[in-house]
Amino acid sequence: MLAGFVGELRQAGLPVSMVEAIDAAKALEHIDMGDRNAFKHTLGATLVKHARHYSAFETAFEVYFGLRPRIGEDLASLPLGSGDGEGAGAGGGGEGDAEALAEALFRAVRDEDTALLAAVVLASVERLAGMEPGRPVGGTYYLYRALRRLDLEALTERLFEAMGGIELGQLEQRLLREEIELRLEQFRMELRAEIRRRLVADRGADAVAKTLRRPLVEDIDLMHAGRAELGEIERAVHPLTRKLATRMAQRRKQAKKGRLDMRATIRRSMSAGGALVDPRFRSRRPSRPELVVLSDISGSVATFARFTLQLVYALAHEFTRVRSFAFIDAIDEVTEYFGTGAEFGSALARISSEAEVVWLDGHSDYGNAFDQFTHRYFNALSPRSVVLVTGDARSNYHDPNIGAFGEIATAARSVHWLNPEARRYWDTGDSIMGSYAPLCDGVHEVRNLRQLEAFVESVTLPTVTSRIGA
Amino acid sequence: MHADPSAVAGALTAAGYLPDDRIAQVVFLAERLDKPMLVEGPAGVGKTELAKAVADATGRPMIRLQCYEGLDESKALYEWNYRKQLLRLQADQGRQWDEVSDDIFTEAFLLARPLLDAIRSPDPVVLLIDEVDRIEVETEALLLEVLADFQVTIPELGTIEASSHPLVVLTSNNTRELSEALKRRCLFLHIGYPDVGRERDILLSRVPELPQALAEQVARIVRSIRAMALRKPPSISESIDWARTLLELGIAEVDEDAVGETLHVLLKHQSDIEAVAKDLELS
């Protein structure tokens, strides 16, 4: 069973090594196997070494070591009694059924009655989800079907009123709404868990796990991410930019030691009887890296653009010296939209409404964008600036204007290009990545967070700085 | 050695740290399996506190290695005491080289740093390696020998094995990805922000004179603020500070005005303060 579980974790993309699997087995010898929580925490601590992999672990754990589904329990014996008992009788999923359950759910959430909540979960799956055995699905549809009949939105309002939300102050109202939302979320989770348990009972753990398998957040393709996935990515980007900031700062400090300081070394040697045992170095004045970001925000890379702008947004909060520019076939500065206190959503809205990034037809023209940049914003570049270009280098057969890009590359300390397309598609069709690549210090395929992370690690590592002494 | 996770939880609580199930379970396993524990999580959720509480709960002294960029062998493991060696050489000038060289590379001339200290200690200790993500990847390798085999190799002296196994706690703010080799050797524990109930209990244990209702309210407001997109969400220590401030100001029930006036205790960036004020529609 453990081997199957470890296999599933690996299938889901978690890097579980042999040693870790053995550790897990050893750890299990020390715990009370009857305690499901202890069992889960033990596996979690030994097999999962990244916080962001934990949700994938939890999904797999529920499938492999979930409780048995409560099939065939007598529904009449459940404490659902709504007083007059209307509609709860003849099954088949009539409207009365849903209403009675909604009523029971209302009471369960209001009174935090866990026994009643469990009963509602069970009855909802039984009567409202309409599960059909043998179908290779992950259960999302069943969940949706059950929840739609229960109409949680109307329920939220009822709960809000019943729990005295109307008379409360503004702040308390907000807190109450959050509390209700949290309790209902708890109900959704339990409903989903029960549906999955039944699926597992029907088709076996391996088959269900396979249906539920989703790419880890770092492997989601940035060009084709869905809404929910984008949300996950956005949450993961923020720590990454902090990482970028820390590493850049680190690089500055590591290069701190400069030439030998003879005077300080000799003074230092006094305490060792004149032997030069402890060489001292002059400290170098740290250079402040400046970041200049040029983002293609045209339709062909819309999803990726949203992501790069998210990155720029986060960077603007970490670095004081970031200037950002957006272009399609014309370029405009967007730095101020990301200023202090700006919200990402509103910044994005302002870029699409206010920034002048369209010149002729609204199709990417990298050549013209770079040309305009050299004319209008050339003073943004200095020997200290690092330029990041993000885009697919698909320029719709326009003149690439290598000259202008060359000027940018010469004026800046380094130029890195992040391309969201797979490397094998570069230089096919209207992609002119190959023309720009020789002028860049690095061209990176960034199709997912994992690759972005690799870029962050590589670009900020001290690759050329020579370290004296240390 | 505690009998089961609930005994660990009890001991940690007695030491002033309120663990949840998961924390107690992992500490219990670390003790049983003799494995280092890597504690990760946002700043200010009590990672270092946990290590201190573990030391308290197990009755062991704590040795702390604070990591920083540029930390190297001579600061983490050991260093030869140059000056003492030099004096020694000058003191017996005229003797043969062989005799002397044996003399000056002995334990008497060794300056033990935290890792070696922890290994050589006759009584078992808790070794806290704090903010391990601050050292460079290359330096991480230094730790591996200590963590896996509980030994330190000094070329001039040979291998020093641990006389007692230290209970190792590493903490990380996750500013950089730690190497797989290091992670493989550790039990992993991610500590996030606590839920309302646990945060309330923490507040009550840290600020005993705080009324129950106020603690509950503080915990709920802090949860609400943490859900927003902020540069630096409030940590546990900040919510404790906030509770103290409210108490100090004699506020029995938190309303919009009270939050608005004291928000700077909870949040440390002006942009965050503005964002929260806007979101909560404070005047």
Residues of B in contact with A26 (CB under 8 A): 33
Q: Which of A29-38, A78-87, A203-212, A217-226 has the lowest mean pLDDT?
A: A78-87
Residue A74: predicted pLDDT: 60
Bridge partners of residue B159, in order along the sequence = B153
pLDDT over 70 at B70, yes or no = yes
Asked if A256 and A284 count as a contact pair (C-beta separation under 8 A), the reply is yes
Name the most confidently modeled range: A116-120, A335-339, A384-388, B263-267: B263-267
pLDDT over 50 at A470, yes or no = no
Interchain pair B176, A273: CB under 8 A: no
Residues of B in contact with A315 (CB under 8 A): none
The arrangement of strands across the sheet holding B187-190 comes to: B62-66, B126-130, B167-172, B37-40, B187-190
Chain A nearest-CA distance from B161, in A, is 23
Residue A95: predicted pLDDT: 58
Asked if B218 and B203 count as a contact pair (C-beta separation under 8 A), the reply is yes
What percentage of chain A has pLDDT greater than the value 90?
10
Name the most confidently modeled range: A150-154, A268-272, A287-291, B110-114: B110-114
Query: Could you tell me the pLDDT band of residue A87, with boundaries at 50, 70 and 90?
Result: very low
- Both tokens of residue A17? 């090594």
pLDDT over 80 at A389, yes or no = yes
Interchain pair A41, B190: CB under 8 A: no
Alpha-carbon distance values, B69 to B132, B134, B138, B189, B247 (Å): 10, 6, 11, 24, 40
Residue B146: predicted pLDDT: 85
Q: Which of A107-111, B227-231, B267-271 has the lowest mean pLDDT?
A: B227-231
pLDDT over 70 at B283, yes or no = no
pLDDT digits (tens, 9 = 90+) for B200-216: 999 999 999 999 999 99
Interchain pair B223, A178: CB under 8 A: yes
Asked if A363 and A333 count as a contact pair (C-beta separation under 8 A), the reply is no
Q: Report chain A's mean pLDDT, rounded to a whole number.
A: 80
Burial bucket for residue A429 (CB in 10 Å: 0-12, 13-18, 19+): exposed
Residue A318: predicted pLDDT: 65
Provide the whole-model pTM.
Answer: 0.76
Interchain pair A49, B86: CB under 8 A: no
Query: Could you tell me the pLDDT band of residue A81, with boundaries at 50, 70 and 90?
Result: low
Backbone angles phi, psi at A49, to 5 degrees: -115, 10
Chain B nearest-CA distance from A20, in A, is 7
Residue of A nearest to B191 (CA): A51
pLDDT digits (tens, 9 = 90+) for B132-159: 988 887 788 888 888 888 888 888 888 8
Q: Which of A112-116, A355-359, A369-373, B225-229 has the lowest mean pLDDT?
A: A355-359
Residue A145: predicted pLDDT: 85
Chain A nearest-CA distance from B242, in A, is 17
Asked if A43 and A58 count as a contact pair (C-beta separation under 8 A), the reply is no
To the question of domain A235-254+288-460 being in CATH 3.40.50.1820, the answer is no
Residue of A nearest to B70 (CA): A254
Chain B nearest-CA distance from A317, in A, is 8
**Checking DSSP bridges between strand A331-333 and strand A322-327, what pairing results, if any?**
antiparallel
Per DSSP, the three-state class of B143 is helix
- Both tokens of residue A236? 């993961």
Name the most confidently modeled range: A52-56, A62-66, B199-203: B199-203
Taking the CA atoms of A145, A150, A154 and A159 in sequence, report the sign of the dihedral they define.
negative
Residues of A in contact with B136 (CB under 8 A): 250, 254
Q: Provide the CA A425 distance to its chain's centre, in angstroms.
A: 26
Backbone angles phi, psi at A434, to 5 degrees: -60, -30
Interchain pair B220, A30: CB under 8 A: no
pLDDT over 60 at A256, yes or no = no
The residue that leads in pLDDT, A327 or A465, is A327
Residue B49: predicted pLDDT: 93
pLDDT over 90 at A75, yes or no = no
- CB-nearest partner of A38 from B5, B180, B192: B5
pLDDT digits (tens, 9 = 90+) for A394-441: 888 888 889 999 999 999 888 989 888 888 888 888 888 988 999 998
Interchain pair B26, A41: CB under 8 A: yes
Residue of B nearest to A242 (CA): B175
The residue that leads in pLDDT, A85 or A194, is A194
Q: Report how far residue A294's alpha carbon sits from residue A288's, in angstroms, rounded to the nearest whole number.
A: 20
The residue that leads in pLDDT, B199 or A146, is B199
Please give, one letter per residue, the 3-state secondary structure of chain A: CHHHHHHHHHHCCCCCCHHHHHHHHHHHCCCCCCCHHHHHHHHHHHHCCCHHHHHHHHHHHHHHHCCCCCCCCCHHHCCCCCCCCCCCCCCCCCHHHHHHHHHHHHHHHHCCCHHHHHHHHHHHHHHCCCCCCCCCCCCHHHHHHHHHHHCHHHHHHHHHHHCCCCCCCHHHHHHHHHHHHHHHHHHHHHHHHHHHHHHHHHHCHHHHHHHHCCCCHHHCCHHHCCHHHHHHHHHHHHHHHHHHHHHHHHHHHHCCEEEECHHHHHHHHHHHCCCCCCCCEEECCCCCCEEEEEEECCHHHHHHHHHHHHHHHHHHHHCCCEEEEEECCCEEECHHHHCCCCCHHHHHHHHHHHCCCCCCCCCCCHHHHHHHHHHHCHHHCCCCEEEEEECCCECCCCCCCHHHHHHHHHHCCEEEEEECCCHHHCCCCCECHHHHHHHCCEEEECCCHHHHHHHHHHHHCCCCCCCCCC
Interchain pair B275, A247: CB under 8 A: no
* ipTM rounded to 2 decimals: 0.89
Q: CB neighbours of A140 closer than 8 A, spacing ≥ 6?
A: none
Query: Could you tell me the pLDDT band of residue A88, with boundaries at 50, 70 and 90?
Result: very low
Residue A226: predicted pLDDT: 72
pLDDT digits (tens, 9 = 90+) for B105-138: 888 888 989 999 998 889 999 999 999 988 887 7
Residue A461: predicted pLDDT: 43
Per DSSP, the three-state class of B127 is strand
Residue of A nearest to B72 (CA): A470
Q: Report how far residue A263's alpha carbon sits from residue B210's, in angstroms, rounded to the nearest whole number.
A: 59
Residues of B in contact with A32 (CB under 8 A): 4
Q: Report chain B's mean pLDDT, rounded to a whole number.
A: 88
Interchain pair B271, A317: CB under 8 A: yes
pLDDT digits (tens, 9 = 90+) for A321-378: 788 898 888 888 888 887 766 667 777 778 878 878 777 777 888 999 999 999 999 8
Residue B21: predicted pLDDT: 92
What percentage of chain B has pLDDT greater than the value 70?
99
Q: Report how far residue A197's alpha carbon sits from residue A68's, in angstroms, rounded to the nearest whole number.
A: 7
Burial B190-211 (b: 16+ CB within 10 A, else e): bbebbebeebbebbbebbeebe
For tokens 């020998």, what's the residue? B145
Interchain pair B21, A343: CB under 8 A: no
- Both tokens of residue A326? 């957006």
CB atoms within 10 A of CB B259: 20
CB atoms within 10 A of CB A183: 16
Interchain pair B22, A46: CB under 8 A: no
- Both tokens of residue A35? 């305690």
E strand spans, chain B: 37-40, 62-66, 78-80, 110-112, 126-130, 151-154, 158-161, 167-172, 187-190
Residues of B in contact with A470 (CB under 8 A): 70, 72
The residue that leads in pLDDT, B100 or B49, is B49
pLDDT over 60 at A120, yes or no = yes
pLDDT over 50 at A290, yes or no = yes
Q: How many residues does chain A have?
A: 470
Residue A286: predicted pLDDT: 54
Chain B nearest-CA distance from A177, in A, is 10
Alpha-carbon distance values, B163 to A23, A398, A428, B110, B142 (Å): 24, 72, 65, 18, 19
Residue A141: predicted pLDDT: 83
- Both tokens of residue A74? 């007598």
Name the most confidently modeled range: A124-138, B20-34, B128-142: B20-34
CA-nearest of B35, B255, B43 to B131 is B43
CB atoms within 10 A of CB A135: 12
Asked if A120 and A128 count as a contact pair (C-beta separation under 8 A), the reply is no
What percentage of chain A has pLDDT greater than the value 70?
84
Cβ pairs bridging A and B (under 8 Å) = 118
Residue of B nearest to A52 (CA): B190
Interchain pair B271, A20: CB under 8 A: no
CA-nearest of A308, A354, A344, A316 to A455 is A308
The residue that leads in pLDDT, A315 or A195, is A195
Q: What is the enclosing helix (H) or strand (E) of B139?
A: helix B137-149
Asked if A411 and A386 count as a contact pair (C-beta separation under 8 A), the reply is no
